[in-house]
Amino acid sequence: MFYLNDNTKWPLQVLLRSIVIDMNALNTRGVTAVIGQDATKIMLTPENIKAATIIFSIVPILLVYPFLQKYFVKGIMLGSVKG
């Protein structure tokens, strides 16, 4: 965060942190958002934003891990010592 002055080059975690901080600074009571033409109202509270950022940061890890699992196991077995 200290070295990247351009916010378009921020990593995902720093961007999500800034979204959570901005939402907390905006208000703590919640914001109603109108979604779609049918005017469905959704209450956006800081807790909802935090939960969404947690899910948004965990999903890429869950999608990539099954494909890379064989390399993790290979590295663990390579570094083990059999006595």
Environment class of residue 19 by beta-carbon count within 10 Å: exposed (0-12), middle (13-18) or buried (19+)? middle
Q: Which domain holds residue 38?
A: 7-79
28 occurs within a structural domain: yes
68 occurs within a structural domain: yes
Neighbours of 49 (CB within 10 A): 19
Are 24 and 46 contacting, i.e. CB atoms less than 8 angstroms apart?
A: yes
13 occurs within a structural domain: yes
pLDDT value, residue 43: 66
Q: Which of 58, 71, 45, 44 lies closest to 16, judged by CA?
A: 58
10-23 average pLDDT score: 82
2 occurs within a structural domain: no
Percent of the chain with pLDDT over 70: 71
- pLDDT tens by residue, 24-81: 776 655 555 556 565 566 667 777 888 888 898 899 889 998 898 888 888 777 777 7
